[in-house]
Amino acid sequence: MKTLLATTLALSLPALAAAHDYTLGDLEIIHPTIFETAATAKAGGGYVTIANTGESADALVGVSAAFPMVELHESFEQDGVMRMQHIERLDIGAGEIVELAPGGYHVMFMGLTEPFVAGDEVPVTLTFENAGEIEVNFTVVEREGGMDHGKMDHGNMDHSTKE
């Protein structure tokens, strides 16, 4: 979901003030979060809000962490079925806020050998086309509804893009 900074920044930032944020150049990286997963989960989703307060566009072009496979994904509904696909880049225009949120864009952590447990901190390196890279900690939190990656068998998801 992309929204204009001017219309939503005033609404969204106070609520997030207590959350952990990072700054990289003109980018604000707000509240990186992973929902805890079921004990047998092989994959989990990471969510974060990125605000570009600058005058030039940037893009998230890479995600990496200490798991066998980490990718940027986009979830979408097609014929009533939730699917996800690997995307190479996520554009963040000047003055835009891009949300990675359940049901949309997410960081997919695959090949988990143990579940994400609430309270864990997961270091993840985000690479941006212009701003460069930054390591941030995704905080694992209890699930509050929404799409549950943890209980899905990721192997059965339709990946429209193959590596």
Distances in whole angstroms, Cα of residue 137 to Cα of each of 56, 72, 81, 106, 154: 26, 17, 32, 15, 24
Q: Would you say 118 and 23 are in contact if contact means Cβ atoms under 8 Å apart? A: no
Is there binding between residue 108 and Cu ion (CB under 5 A)? yes
User: Shortest approach of Cu ion to residue 106 CB, angstroms?
Assistant: 6
- Please give the distance of CA 103 from its chain centroid, rounded to a whole number: 11
Question: Which tokens go with 130?
Answer: 């212009």
Q: Map the footprint of Cu ion across residues 33-62, applying CB under 5 A.
A: none
CB of 45 to Cu ion, least distance (A): 6
| C-beta closer to Cu ion: residue 29 or 108 | 108
| The one among 70, 73, 96, 152 contacting Cu ion by CB under 5 A | 73
17 Cβ contact partners less than 8 Å away, ≥ 6 residues apart: none
Report the residue from 60, 63, 84, 92 that binds Cu ion according to the rule CB under 5 A. 84
Q: Which stretch binds Cu ion (CB under 5 A): 19-27, 53-61, 76-84, 120-128?
A: 76-84
